[in-house]
Structure 1
């Protein structure tokens, strides 16, 4: 492995960036990883339990990708992840995408309704969707500040504006992450670090939505101006935008990518 060289050189293109995508082995995370890899970036494919899928993806890009295990809820594991990534590629981490979703199943019939949900369920989602990103951001912040450059992109949901399924714990945790996105944008902005969120709805298709009946997809498509359901690749395009120099003047924003289903 190369020894990390922490130099004050600002990356000017996606191809110069070192990106960590959490929960990157499958579904949306894999699509985001492929999008960065396609632009020539170096990508750390973080996983918790999906080792085989992460290593298979990394093997497709042996010079650019590294599969790395870490439970994002563990701050020591995350600190090790940041160090290992920088050492392996010989440069500091420039960009993090907080995509990992911990212990959640997208099945409205199986989720607790308002009269039965416990705070423990809410707290469990806060561990993954708030504590996890907090750990990653704090571990990567120092080297980003040293460079005067950093891109933090959090993955949210359009359920803030369109709460049509009882994912109370998931939606509350992602709402808290949106608040963190905006307050951290102000706090980290003077160091040259931008913090933004990309929020999607039901995507066609990921592991989470694979069991969704086609009539549900058709109904969602009919309600959008584009008459289409968003794909993971389309959402990944928006993540690339926030990481790119095209978004150098944008921070603290939440971009909804759902074909126009939700406004605002």
Structure 2
């Protein structure tokens, strides 16, 4: 850590760092994230941040769970923001630790706005996005010159009262990477097929990517609801829909998948 301190900023008391912890494998933490873990007084962490990541916390640091899981009692976002502000005003070095990247479906933007409005100084540390890492670790390129020059990142869990126009997304013909979508996969699949996606469109689902609990399911679009009903795909998972999903089957015999091994 002494060497790392030369390339990462100091963590000042009374400030908050919004940090992405990556998809789960500690090897995918950034140097800034490691420094924050080794320095923070209080770590407010999400449900997708596992013990392997938290093991890098400095001795004596206070760990506060503030996770959200669909269908279960969860922390309220407003209360989380208030807690971060309170801890910072008490003079603590506050690490808000989120799975993946804090600004990709991590509600980091809401926390940044709340901190700014409260006059609390903060730093944002990007993390390896769980959606893109789930693909890359299994040899699936998010973009590929021969098939797609764009990719759509979408959540299956929009804000209350809001809807996603899945049929319009389907008509783009662009691969779709879904976060938090297992519980609503039947509705999503129906809308995507209504928008023109064929039932045999390839998909790849990665459950708990890069951890020792990781599992991978290759299937067709129309089969996803049935697989979810049987528990063969389950949260937390990333689902990619589109031609790029076939890449894994083409290279899997030669692909060294080190993520889950590193986490064991």
Q: TM-score, normalised by structure 1?
A: 0.35
Q: TM-score, normalised by structure 2?
A: 0.35
Question: Highest CA radius of gyration, 1 or 2?
Answer: 2
Question: Hey, which of these two has a bigger chunk of helix by percent?
Answer: 1
